[in-house]
Structure 1
Amino acid sequence: MNGWRFLVVSLLLGNLGLLGFGLFANNDSQKTIDSPGLRAEWVGIERPWDQAVEVLRAPVAPAPKIDLREGQAQLDSAIENASKQVFENPRNTLVCLLWGPLLQSESARVQEALLNWGGETDRLERQVPVGYVVYLPQDIVNTGVGIDQLSGKGITDMFYITTPGPLQGTISLGLFRDLERANAQKADLARRGVDGVQIRERLGPVRVFFELRGNATEIETVRSVFELNRKGELKPCEGPTGS
């Protein structure tokens, strides 16, 4: 009986000793972990804000040099061009067309069709050329060259012009519709020994023409009116305003 008591007491004392040793060892370990020096070795903390960072900067282009004289010259040129556009005579940009020749009865109808076309209209009356006359001028005729002298050179198609006008007192040596034939007649007369021969347009009856000036849109209106009233011809005017 005493032996069992001794054994129980011994086991109890041994357990108490082990418990005390464990508490003592755990306390030392906690102190070691809480030590600042040892904690830095156990745990590595990254601090990116403490690291040096290389910043790459894009190259900056040098500022352009400013030439004040060149800039002033460009400004003056721009102002001059703008002034020309503002003060340019608008009539210089107009297009001019000539409609004719027309008979008096035809001209009244065309003039009525053009009442509202929007541009400028000038009514003209002209004698229309109908051909060419080859003639001997009056000053040569007055020197004694007449029908008899010309007949002696083999010329048969001739007559005195007595109608009042610029050709009165001359001798006609041929009437032709085109200039080419008139020039051929003049060359033939020169070969026959007739010098001083001239050529002049033959003017026919008076005809009516309309000189029309307007911008591009107005001119298109004129062309449309002409298509509906195809009398005479529609062509550019002679001179800088023609197109």
Structure 2
Amino acid sequence: MTVLRFLIILLLMLNILALAAIQGWLGTPAPSGEPERIANQLNPEHIRLSSETATGAPVAAEPAEQTTAASPSADTNGLLTSEATPSPPDPAREAEPPTLAATAPMPPAAAEPPPAEAASPPTVCQAWGGLSADEAERLSARLRRIGVTATRSRSETPDSWWVRIPPQRSRAEAEARVAELRILGVTDTYIVPEPGPTQFAVSLGVFKTESRARLLLGQLRERGVRNAGIEPRMTTTHRIQASLPVAQLRNVEQAVPGVGAKRQACTR
């Protein structure tokens, strides 16, 4: 019974001490509610709700220096306690409008200009006349090699003028005509022996110009030669015409030596 009684008395004393501590009889402050806790903080007037800041309510200016130093408060037992003072929000930063760089649409990229077409080299129309068949073929081949299409033509032109007595039916008749000419004082004669349309003709002279041929014919007629005449000796010549770059003229003419002297501008 003694132990049980001691435990009961001890339990009662502990309950009394607990009640005294709750009521503040032992010198410790009794626990208080939320309003009293806010009142005990430093600078409670700086505290603003976030809803007030968002609606544009006036906010007190920030102090020159904000500190979060703990404010000491002494309790009845001489103990020090501290609570940090919250810093007020910065209305200038919250109300700052978005910058133009973030909201302004990007201008459309400028379209790139189309590439300039490469300028073609200047061309010139040239014609080469009086060409032989071999010269015309080599010149045409060189023009085709550089990608130029040429126009080719041929013509019959007098190469010389021949003073002669027309072909005879046989060599005997040709020799009889030569004997007659010698009687008239004409000794520069030649009987054509080659087969063909001029065989057994009696040649009296070949000239590069028609005027020289006609001069001889007049002299023969003065001596009494009546059956002589002038026959032009024709030759076939070729003509090449093409439009080509000026820079290629020398390259083309190198394929045919001397052809540059036969070149002239195209006739329109």
Structure whose residues are more often helix by fraction: 1
Higher relative contact order (CA 8 A, sep 6+): 1
Which protein has the larger Cα radius of gyration, Structure 1 or Structure 2? 2
Structure-1-length-normalised TM-score: 0.43
Structure-2-length-normalised TM-score: 0.39
